[in-house]
Amino acid sequence: MRVKSLVAIASLHETLLEKIRMRTARAGVIGLGYVGLPLAMAIAQSGFAVTGFDIDPGKIVMIEDGRSYIEAVPDAVLSHCVREDRFQATVDFARLSECDVIIICVPTPLTRHRDPDLSFIVRTCGSIAETLRSGQLIVLESTTYPGTTNDVVRPILEKTGLKSGQDFFLGFSPEREDPGNRDFKTSSIPKIVAGDGADASEVMAAFYGASFKTVVPVSSNATAEAVKLTENIFRAVNIALVNELKVVYEAMGIDIWEVIDAAKTKPFGYMPFYPGPGLGGHCIPIDPFYLTWKSREYELPTRFIELAGEINSAMPGHIVDRLAEALDTRQGKALSRSRVLVVGLAYKKNVPDIRESPSLKLIELIEARGGTTSYHDPYVESIPSTRRYKSLEGRLSLPLTEEAITGFDAVLIATDHDSIDYAALARWSPLIIDTRNAFGNRQLGGANIVKA
């Protein structure tokens, strides 16, 4: 019986490897957002047939029409993959049974108390379990704490009676998308891969190696999960450091932007990070707290991470204080009687992504102090529904005209989109609070511009 079992496992393993080599394996991508849709396109373009799964029927309609809602995926690429029958999308999760490889790209937010919210992963794994069959590879790409793949995903799938490493293969590969970064395509970013056992690891390397230029295998799923957290914790801590330095140097009358520009001329031992109005996006404000939560299980403190979180979370409040001070000293006007235009709603420039954007917090803080706000963002026509800022839903982006700008007491630059006419803003606005050095980077100056 033992020999027969080993032969069966080897057969499943070799069969899937051969399907991958011949590009006859069908891939399923669950969650067609900023991570899932670009990933699905990269896999489809490498020769595999891909089925995308999402709970939003609106996305399915747009995909069927060849219209992309993700900036990193051009309409031409999407429509070509759909037309060539390399990519199709559905809300019917029963079709997961058709897929040889299933990749999970669903959100992993935090609860109000900064605990991991794995509900999307748990529900998705439940859907996979309903059609799980022998020989499939199941991959988690959603960012999470070390141990999630083996300790959370595997037990849900094994409730079916099928066993990881025996009947199906289980792996983890962290997403590394950077919305708005045109220097890298999804397939050109080195891909970390790991599997639950040697066979799963080999299948993971073969599958991702067929679509990605570089594959970096690591020893375990937990290691791969830790890689992703380490990357984003590194960024969060260093951004907190320059945010703290900004506040200190500000008090000393020193321009932090000039300091960084000079420091980065050193060809070794220094990497530039830049301050801002707070952290945003789907990774850096969230991922570090996955490790702080997990570390409690081992009774180990994560002081650097928690302190960095406190500093970065405090930045919107510091910016609003600077705004109030500038209105008072330069215009003799209280924030409570002022109209403020927030320029940039997205969390970073040149993208429409508002997840965890500090701009939303800035608007909330200004209005809590009695000020009136509007916003302009060329990428965000109206504020969509969010979990934390329900009251802002539906507000519309204001056009940047001279008549509109002169009607505000101050303009607050929260996101430095390249398409903004900063020279016109400098002419029209009586007071500008620049949190991104947008004007300095364009050699624009003026007595009405305050760096914050």
Concatenating the DSSP letter of every residue in 117-150 gives --HHHHHHHHHHHHH--TT-EEEE-S---TTHII
Q: Is 283 a catalytic residue?
A: yes
Q: Which of 41, 114, 135 is nearest to 84 (CA)?
A: 41
**Length of the chain as a residue count:** 452
| Annotated catalytic residue within 99, 105, 125, 283 | 283
Q: Are strands 191-195 and 169-172 parallel, antiparallel or unpaired?
A: antiparallel
How far is 148 from 168, CA to CA, in rounded Å? Answer: 17
How far is 226 from 140, CA to CA, in rounded Å? Answer: 13
Whether 420 and 440 have beta carbons less than 8 Å apart is answered as no
Whether 391 and 384 have beta carbons less than 8 Å apart is answered as no
Phi-psi region of 161 (alpha: psi -120 to 50; beta: other; left: phi over 0): left
How far is 417 from 342, CA to CA, in rounded Å? Answer: 12
How far is 151 from 154, CA to CA, in rounded Å? Answer: 6
How far is 224 from 242, CA to CA, in rounded Å? Answer: 28
CB-based contacts of 410: which residues, under 8 Å, 6+ apart? 323, 326, 327, 338, 339, 340, 341, 429, 430, 431, 432, 433
Residue 205 CB-half CA count within 13 A: 14
- Dihedral pair phi/psi, residue 341, rounded to 5°: -105, 120
| Catalytic residue positions, numbered | 283
